[in-house]
Each structure stands twice: as structure tokens, then as C-alpha cells.
Structure 1
């Protein structure tokens, strides 16, 4: 009997498995070696840096989850997302300063950014659906205008909000670490709650079903009697509001200062690209990777810390062009 040859261009299963595993070995091997060395060299520094990375990742995820809704899911290129972060942070800071109520500050920051997002979607982006380059140029211009207006209204001084009284001070008695900031640790819980809530909204509710259906086939959803423009406006408001919420939360740890909008926009772009477009779980994975890379880079190689961020982006785009959890075309 003649041997059965594989189809043209097909690889034997063993060779295909090796090719799939190779990127993980090349990336994971050095990371594992570094983790073992750092853990045995200074366990406390390693674990504190690990917690710092997770808490920073939580902030990145909160902001980037809104960007995932707008850019990754709705395919609206909103490069003014960082300005919405800054707007929410400034509003939250001044509300907290006047009232002393941190929860009210969070609500005000979310509402202000959500309102600005709705106006942006209804007045500008709705009329440019599918025109990515035009959306990019217009939102870049709007981000510059918004940044200048925020400087004019709130000045260029550094503003830093105090954590609520019940989250001030460290949590003590943690093994090896001994003590860690209560507020920073709370960020991890906030990110998990928001992530789970957002995933449930998109995958287990009628509203989430309409959002996903509207992205895939807008005309069909409209023919079913759904007000697509209203659905998209609500989605955009939620995404923008999450940016504002992140601004209020970040005002405690990172402070509010001109330039933070660009930094958070860049972080959101990296998180969405690394994690995969339109995936909430992917955004969480991307945020964890970026947060850990930044904090470990600053702790162990501060001169080259920024290199690690873009090295991750290059590796992911080389091996997984659609992101770690991105869907195939």
C-alpha cells in the first residue's frame, strides 16, 4: 500500500505542536529563570513588586476595559480616551475636596466622563462609522483641545487625592511582605469586581447580546426593532465612564497632572492589542502582563524599564497578531 501523504502545506502534528509551543518556551523560559533568581535573592522585594504589578494592572484594566468596549468591540477609534480619564480624575478630586465623600467623587468622575463620551459619540463619531483614519485624526485633535481646556480650568498643578479614611495606612501581618498599602490592595478587588461585572453584562444579559449583535450586523439589529443608536450611545457612555472612574481611582496613587492622559491612553492601547480586540478577559490578561512588566522593570532594571513594555508588544504581534485571546479572522 502506498503511504498517505499530508495535504500540501500541512505540517505533521508533532512539528505543528513544536511550532505552537516554541513562543511560550522562548518567552516563558527566561521569565521563569528570572523569577526563581529574584525570589531566592530577595523574596520580599520580589513579592512586593508582584503585588505592585497586580494593583497597577488593576488600574490599567479599569481604564482599558472602557477602551475595549469602544475600540475593541464597537470599532470606534477614540484616541481621546486618555482625556476622559483625566477629566474624571479632576472632577473626582474637586468633589472629594469639597465634600470629603470619596464614593461621591467616584460617582461624579464616572458621570462626567460618561456624559462627555456620549456627546463625543452622538455629535462626532456616529457620523464617521467605519472611517477609522478620520476617527483617529478627529479624536487626536479633540484630545489636544480637551487637555488644554483641562489645564485652563484646573491649572497645570499636580493634584493628588487622599484615600478614604477606611483605606488609609498599611495592612500588617502579611507573611514575608509584613505590611502593604490597604488602598493599593483594594484596587485589586475593584478591578476584579468591575471585570466580572463587565463580562456578565456582555455575555449573560440581553443588553450585552444587543451590543455584540449591533457590532456584527447593525442593519439586522435595527430591522429587529432595536434602537441601535441608543445601544451604541449607552455602550460608549459605559466605556467613557470607566475611564473617568479609573481617573478618580488613579488620582490617589498616580496623581492628576497634564500628560497622564497620554500615558493611560498608550497603556490602554497596549492592553487591548496584547490581550485581543474586544475581549474583556483578554484586557485583563494584557493589563496583568503590562503591569508586571512595568513594575519589575522599575524594580530590577530602571534604566531599561520602558523597553520591556514595547518588547512585550513586539513579541505578541510577532507570534499572536490578533492578541493573546484575539479571535481569528
Structure 2
């Protein structure tokens, strides 16, 4: 196995990880502040991807497509929070799961009704198409490097927002004691709507960015949502830093596991059996990682100790 292949797969893992972070960051904000299990978060990812594909097809502008994706997902998130989610804060988690699962079905069928059942395609912008030569003579897609940079920029911006702004102070206070900040005069309803819209916008941005390297189709958000839940369990519920570290761990584990595990089993198995065994274990690697983390730290890497 060449060093170039390993470096390329590490970069692929980083790109996958930062995209997962965009999903997991919004999810962990919503759960940390509101205590809400939102299964419909993947639908907001899908809405962002479809909005981006539609706007890019109409205008030819990728930047407008990204703005449309964030705006559409944020608007859908705010509308859902005001009309449905607000009635679930006092409910138990089973009611939240059932209600947000119903939202998945509504969003999926609504999207199919508007856009049809066939996939849409979002082209990579011309400025980011083609490969770029990295040190060591490695040719790597320029767009995937841009995705890594965009994800890191969002991570820094989100950290600055939560740590160094007034709204960030309110968000962190809402995670710790929502009754107290409500008693101090903070409009908790408006704060919840803002947090939900922010989380939805991040999911929509992720959907638009990934939509340029895969087809945009109904149901595309649910597999990513499962991985996002794995990320926040590993990183610790309510922790942005945990979501970032957990996303990178999941991205690298998923990508590198598919490369190294089959090669490892070839040392003492037939090539065909080694490939099958390695591929099977690679598909379970992130869940094994989650189990090991929870054995060591039941609240996640950066979750509050019980």
C-alpha cells in the first residue's frame, strides 16, 4: 500500500468528518439546549441539498445555491419549531421520537411531490473543479479540499459564536439552566427558535456541499443522521468541541477502516475471504469505536460527567 494512497484516504476521512460535523453540531446544539431528540434533522439536510440544486440550476451560481440551502433549511427549521416542536418540550422522549419521525415522512413526501422521484445533480463550481497538486506529487480534488476548509471555517465560527458573543452566552446558559435564564428575562421561546434555525442552517449547508459530489435525492439525509448521532454520542451530548473531535474520529475510522482492514486480514486469510471479512468489520468499525468510548467514558469524550 503506497504512502500516496494513505494520504489520499486520510484527506477523504477529514472531508467526510467535517461534513458530519456540520450535521452533528446542529444536532448537539438542539439536544443540548432543548433536550429534544430530533429525528427530522436529516430531512433539513435533504431540504438544503434540494434547494441548492434548484437554485444552482436556475441561476448557475454556486454561492447563491449555498445561501438558498441555508435559508431554506433555516426557514423550515424555524417553522417546524414554532408549529410542532414547541409543543414537545414537556413531552417525554418517546413522544418526541414519534413526532419527529412523522416529520421525516412529511418532508420526504413533500419533497417528492415538489421535485419528483428522480435525483437532481449539483455541479461543482468551475473554480473548484479539477485536481490540485499537493506536496509529494499527490493530485487531490480541489473541491474536496475546499470542503475541508469550509468545514474548519464553520467550526471556528461556531466556536467563536458560542464562546465570545452574547447569544452564545445565552445558548450555553440554556444548556445548563433554562429556568434560570428565563427568570432573568431571556425570551426562552425566541432562543429555542434561533438555536433550532441555526442547527437547521448548518444541516442545509452540509447537504448543499455534499450534493455536489453525490446525487441529490429523497431520503439522502437519514444515513447521515445515523452517523451524526454516533458522532454526538462519542463526542458528548451538548459539546461543540466533542462534536468536532467525534466527527473527525468517525470520518477517519470509516474511511481508513475500509482500506486497512482487508489488507490486514490478507496476512493470514485467502484474498477473497480477507476482503469480505475486512469490509464487514469496516462497516462496524465506527460502532465498535462508539462502544469503546462509552465503556471508557459513558458520557462521551467531552460530555459532562454524571
TM over 0.5: yes
- Structure-1 separation of matches of 2:158 and 2:131: 30
Structure 1 residue 260, shift from structure 2 partner: 1.7
- Structure-1 separation of matches of 2:30 and 2:15: 23
Structure 1 residue 160, shift from structure 2 partner: 2.4
Out of 274, 279, 283, the position equivalent to 1:303 is 279
Alignment of 1:106 with 2:82, yes or no, is no
| Structural mapping, 1:57-76, within 5 Å | 57-76=17-36
- 1:253 aligned counterpart, secondary structure: coil
- Structure-2 separation of matches of 1:232 and 1:161: 32
- Structure-2 separation of matches of 1:156 and 1:293: 33
> Residues 46 and 220 of structure 2 are in contact (CA less than 8 Å); yes or no, is this contact kept in structure 1?
yes
Partner of residue 140, structure 1: 101
Partner of residue 209, structure 1: 169
Q: Which runs of 5+ in 1 are unaligned?
A: 1-40
**Residue-pair matches, total:** 288
- 2:212 aligned counterpart, secondary structure: helix
Partner of residue 258, structure 1: 218
Partner of residue 83, structure 1: 43
> Residues 89 and 244 of structure 1 are in contact (CA less than 8 Å); yes or no, is this contact kept in structure 2?
yes
Out of 119, 122, 131, the position equivalent to 1:158 is 119
- Structure-1 separation of matches of 2:195 and 2:231: 19
- 2:132 aligned counterpart, secondary structure: strand
Partner of residue 47, structure 1: 7
> Residues 119 and 215 of structure 2 are in contact (CA less than 8 Å); yes or no, is this contact kept in structure 1?
yes
Structure 1 residue 105, shift from structure 2 partner: 0.5
- Structure-1 separation of matches of 2:174 and 2:21: 24
Partner of residue 244, structure 2: 284
| Structural mapping, 1:219-298, within 5 Å | 219-298=179-258
Normalised by the length of structure 1, the TM-score is 0.84
- Structure-1 separation of matches of 2:296 and 2:107: 37
Structure 1 residue 177, shift from structure 2 partner: 5.0
Which 4+ stretches in 1 moved above 3 angstroms?
A: none
Partner of residue 167, structure 1: 128
Root-mean-square deviation (CA, aligned residues, Å) is: 1.4
- Go from structure 1 to structure 2 and tell me whether the alpha carbon gap of 1:254 and 1:64 turns closer, same or farther (over 3 Å shift): farther
- 1:221 aligned counterpart, secondary structure: helix
Partner of residue 324, structure 1: 301
Q: Which runs of 5+ in 2 are unaligned?
A: 263-277
- Structure-2 separation of matches of 1:175 and 1:116: 43
Q: Rg larger in 1 or in 2?
A: 1
> Residues 13 and 251 of structure 2 are in contact (CA less than 8 Å); yes or no, is this contact kept in structure 1?
yes
- Structure-1 separation of matches of 2:214 and 2:253: 17
Normalised by the length of structure 2, the TM-score is 0.90
